[in-house]
Amino acid sequence: MIEFESVSKRFDDGTMAVEDFSLVLPSRQTTVFVGSSGCGKTTLLRMVNRMVEPTSGRVLIDGEDVAGRDKVQLRRSIGYVLQAAGLLPHRKVVDNVATVPVLTGTAKAKAREAAYELLDTVGLDRALGKRYPAQLSGGQQQRVGVARALASDPNILLMDEPFGAVDPLVRADLQVELRRLQQDLGKTVVFVTHDIDEAFLLADQVVILKKGGVVAQAGSPAEILAAPADDFVASFVGADRGKRTLHLRDGDGGGKGRTIVVDGDGRPIGVLADGPADGAR
Amino acid sequence: MEFLLSALRWIADPANWDPSATTPLPIQARLLEHLRYTAVSMVIAAAIALPLGCWIGHTGRARQLVIGFTGAMRALPTLGLLFFLLMVFGYWLSYDTAPIVGATIAFVVLAVPSILAGAYAGIESVDRTTVDAARATGMTEWQVLWRVEVPLGLPLVLGGLRSATLQVVSTVTIASYAGLGGLGRIITSGIGLNDYDLILGGALLVTALALLLDGLFALAQRLTRTPGVTDRRPAAARRPRRSPRPHASKSA
């Protein structure tokens, strides 16, 4: 469990990135911070592994203030995935994945063996392990970034717009993959994005942020869609544009066709199935 | 042209390499002295400038101050500095030690700015995202420096050492003005004797030595080329043995 206790951050140039932010992020769930640029979402994320120190307030992991933990040890115990993957260009993929275990003193051969297994986990061919990051595609690099973050088997995974720089098709792939991983591994994931669709797809808890780290609304995707707290939220999630206002319409074919679902503009989205949804959410 | 051939003949003449030849000969003795002055000055300069440059590049601190200071150091004429230091140390030190101390300091002052500039530019040139990621994965500042910044910035760091070496090896020629050895001795005695073979031969030897050292650094830069960084061709173009160009697979 991660807790933010009235956290504020003022940068050296005087900008107030986050002001009096409080929130509880439950364990083994995915919390997504979503908001436009400048809303302080990345700042909040980086406070968890002390890449940013709050000006006031506390960040607690399982009840323990991170300010009291050794920075390096703390960071090694938390997985971190960045937008640009941030792989070390002069190290082979497998050595990139093995970075943290090697730092914490695992024998190199053993760390590599584990790294190859992690490549399987994130759906990468083991043969890619011997390549350098520049020889991989953007999507592959991101998978390596995720594998590296998982290498120390952390309880917490911080993801800073990890799929922001890859093309939409690959992004959809990675999102599905992350959901599968999360179901298998059950990490506490903190995910930052400006893409509300991505947030709804991945989150157990969505936190919509306004400028200065002000929480516009926090809740499950269903709660937010069912009852947007204000116009800002409604507009942010697209509820006001009809994109998410869906209607049912009988299909053509003289009553024999299936019922189709259309959006606010009348464009078909899908068909209505019988019975409840299979998924857990 | 005749001058040049004559000088080359002088260099090739075994008599000038005979260990029993009179000063400023034999050539190899002056050559070794020249190399020794160069090496000692470079080691001292590197010991000062490399840590300082890494610190500036890593922390970004004191950058303006040090750049301004080393810029001023670059403007100092080494010969003038040498005479000044000889006067100063001639007062404090013995007749034997003053020249070598003064000359070494003058060469160190010459070498420091280039090495320093190469070091901090090399460290600074490393992509900040990579450094941030390294830190975020739990590297200590030392590990960030040694495992990320130094290997990735190495080409520029070596470049600084390379140009400093080139400057020092050619400037060590003036050590003879301080009564020291080195290839400059051959040139100065050539000037004294009005012997063009000595003057030009000495100058050619200095040039050859400078080119040799520069070549060695070029080789070192090639050997330490960071894999995965220098070669940025897309993955498809570099599958081994598939390339239509046979030489292309060498760099993989």
Whether A279 shows a pLDDT value over 80: the answer reads: no
Contact yes or no for B228 and A49 at CB 8 A? no
Residues within 8 A of B (CB atoms), A 63-102 only = 72-77, 80, 82, 84-92, 99-100
Contact yes or no for A99 and B130 at CB 8 A? no
**How many other CB atoms sit within 10 Å of the CB of residue B50?**
18
C-alpha span between A125 and A116 (Å, rounded) = 9
Residue B74 has a pLDDT of: 83
Let me know whether A168 and A271 are in one domain. Answer: no
Let me know whether A185 and A226 are in one domain. Answer: yes
> Under CATH, which number does the domain B2-225 receive?
1.10.3720.10
Contact yes or no for A82 and B135 at CB 8 A? no
B206-247 pLDDT, tens digit each? 999 999 999 999 998 888 877 777 544 444 444 444 334 444
Distance in Å, alpha carbon of A49 to nearest chain B alpha carbon = 8
Angle, helix A138-150 to helix A108-121, in steps of 10 degrees: 120
> Which of B129, B137, B225, B229 to substitute to test the interface with A, most A CBs within 10 Å?
B137
Distance in Å, alpha carbon of B128 to nearest chain A alpha carbon = 9
Let me know whether A255 and A182 are in one domain. Answer: no
B74-112 pLDDT, tens digit each? 888 889 999 899 888 888 888 888 889 999 999 999 999
Tell me the mean pLDDT in the region A202-230.
90
User: Among A21, A1, A7, which Cα is nearest to A64's?
Assistant: A1
Q: Which residue segment(s) compose the domain that A169 sits in?
A: 2-241
State whether residue A148 sits within 8 Å of chain B by CB.
yes
Contact yes or no for B138 and A76 at CB 8 A? yes
**How many other CB atoms sit within 10 Å of the CB of residue A179?**
15
C-alpha span between B30 and B17 (Å, rounded) = 10
Tell me the mean pLDDT in the region B57-69.
86
Let me know whether A154 and A259 are in one domain. Answer: no
Contact yes or no for B140 and A72 at CB 8 A? yes
A77-107 pLDDT, tens digit each? 999 998 877 899 999 999 999 999 999 999 9
B183-193 pLDDT, tens digit each? 889 999 989 98
Please report the ipTM that was assigned to this predicted complex.
0.83
B106-157 pLDDT, tens digit each? 999 999 999 999 999 999 999 999 999 999 999 999 999 999 999 999 999 9
A19-76 pLDDT, tens digit each? 899 999 999 999 999 988 888 899 999 999 999 999 999 999 999 999 999 999 999 9
Contacting residues of A for B143, CB less than 8 Å apart: 103
- B175-206 burial, b at 16+ Cβ within 10 Å, e below that, comes to bbebebbbbbbbbbbbeeeeebbbbbbbbbbb
- Residues A80, A161 contacting (CB under 8 angstroms): no
Nearest by CB to A84, which of B129, B139, B151?
B129
Residue A151 has a pLDDT of: 92
The domain tally of chain A equals: 2
The mean pLDDT value of chain A amounts to 88
Distance in Å, alpha carbon of A186 to nearest chain B alpha carbon = 20
Whether A278 shows a pLDDT value over 80: the answer reads: no
Residue B48 has a pLDDT of: 95
Let me know whether A276 and A229 are in one domain. Answer: no
Residue B119 has a pLDDT of: 93
The mean pLDDT value of chain B amounts to 85
**How many other CB atoms sit within 10 Å of the CB of residue A157?**
23
Let me know whether A269 and A160 are in one domain. Answer: no
Distance in Å, alpha carbon of A189 to nearest chain B alpha carbon = 16
Kind and range of the H or E run holding B98? helix B97-124
Residue B149 has a pLDDT of: 93
C-alpha span between A250 and A259 (Å, rounded) = 5
Let me know whether A227 and A279 are in one domain. Answer: no
User: Among B172, B162, B195, which Cα is nearest to B25's?
Assistant: B195
- Residues A204, A123 contacting (CB under 8 angstroms): no
**A253: pLDDT confidence band, cut at 50, 70 and 90?**
low
Whether B19 shows a pLDDT value over 50: the answer reads: yes
Let me know whether A216 and A255 are in one domain. Answer: no
C-alpha span between B165 and B101 (Å, rounded) = 19
Residue B233 has a pLDDT of: 44
Sheet strand arrangement including A247-250: A247-250, A259-262, A268-271
pTM of the model: 0.80
Let me know whether A275 and A182 are in one domain. Answer: no
Let me know whether A187 and A263 are in one domain. Answer: no
Let me know whether A221 and A266 are in one domain. Answer: no
Tell me the mean pLDDT in the region A157-178.
88
Let me know whether A281 and A207 are in one domain. Answer: no
Whether A18 shows a pLDDT value over 50: the answer reads: yes
Q: Which residue of B has its CA nearest to A82?
A: B133
> Which of A90, A102, A128, A131 to substitute to test the interface with B, most B CBs within 10 Å?
A90
**A189: pLDDT confidence band, cut at 50, 70 and 90?**
very high
